[in-house]
Amino acid sequence: MYQLLKQEGRARRGEFTTVHGTVQTPAFMNVATSAAIKGGISSLDLRELRCQVELCNTYHLHIRPGDRVIRELGGLHRFTGWNRPILTDSGGFQVFSLSSLRKIREEGGTFSSHVDGKRIFMGPEESMRIQSNLASTIAMAFDECIENPAPRPYVEQSVARTTRWLRRCKAELDRLNRLPDTINPHQLLFGINQGGTYDDIRVEHMKEIARLGLDGYAIGGLAVGEPAEVMYHIIEEVEPHMPADRPRYLMGVGTPVNILEGVARGLDLFDCVMPSRNARHGHLFTWNGILNLQNNKYLLDERPIEEGCGCFACRGGHSRAYIRHLFRAKEMLGMRLAVAHNLYFYNTLMERVREALDQGRFDAFYREMVPVLGRRI
């Protein structure tokens, strides 16, 4: 499971052992929503880009090709050719994001497919069965992601229901892991802390779910419109009540600066579509800040995206001018090279964070990089 190797302030350096390998933390999980990174990045590429954990989405894979199809094909690892850990999101966020088409009740949530409009019901047991069919390394509990801001009475009701759902998730996954034909009987379960922006609700919910002895804990329902300062404050309030001997996951976050702020506040795992999504629009992360490769100033720029970068876009001799041309010509290769660079940057950012923690200089690294990584160049 999780072993804390070193700590500097609240920042933690650890190892998280799973049936599919050991994850060095802090770590960024690369988002492959439909079992693929948008931008033409393969599992072989991900290994070269220094990815440790891939994140796939339960809802999208349930819609297509279908979780039963993936089960017939041996689970997500065989299906994708990825032999390292995979985390599957529960589908709860889709209930939130498809809010205009949803209906939430005690049993679960009913909402319409974004593909064909078909009505779909998903509750705790359904989510666990789908994730068991997918055979991911880590299953996320089914929860309701609350809109920020939301009225306190609704948040209280929603969090209480999410807790009841979590108990049902645990019971169902325990049952599924005991079945003789389960592909991954060692599937882990992470619970999710909710509570909007109400400190006391967040803290009480974290205390309650910590008593369930789950394999890991996440903070959810942030980075959905609230100011970054509010997010950081919520983390500071909740983190002291998260079990120290379990991995801690900040869901859907975020920018390189957000991640450094999360590490500094004691969190271990992060995910976000930002590196791939921004790359597909020509916005690239570097150690000097963020550049927009579609700007005219790169028309004749023969330099790689970043000097000394080890990604295959930079070391392969592809210039900024060339990749800019690919974007302007709408060639798929442009997106592929840009996505590869951004994922490599995020994954090596985490390597540098771990190295700084190993050497007892994370605070200096944090202070040096936070003013730089978010600036436009």
- The SS3 of residue 193 is strand
Q: Residue 305: which residues within 8 A CB-CB, separation 6 or more?
A: 284, 286, 291, 293, 311, 313, 314, 318, 320, 323, 338, 341
Whole-angstrom distance, CA of residue 198 vs CA of residue 158? 13
**Radius of gyration of the chain from Cα atoms?**
20
Residue 11 and residue 263 in contact, taking contact as beta carbons nearer than 8 Å: yes
Whole-angstrom distance, CA of residue 55 vs CA of residue 332? 23
Q: Quick one: which of 248, 232, 220, 216 has its CA closest to 12?
A: 248
Whole-angstrom distance, CA of residue 241 vs CA of residue 217? 11
Whole-angstrom distance, CA of residue 180 vs CA of residue 319? 54
Whole-angstrom distance, CA of residue 125 vs CA of residue 356? 42
- Burial of 14 by CB count in 10 Å (0-12 exposed, 13-18 middle, 19+ buried)? buried
Which are the catalytic amino acids?
Answer: 89, 271
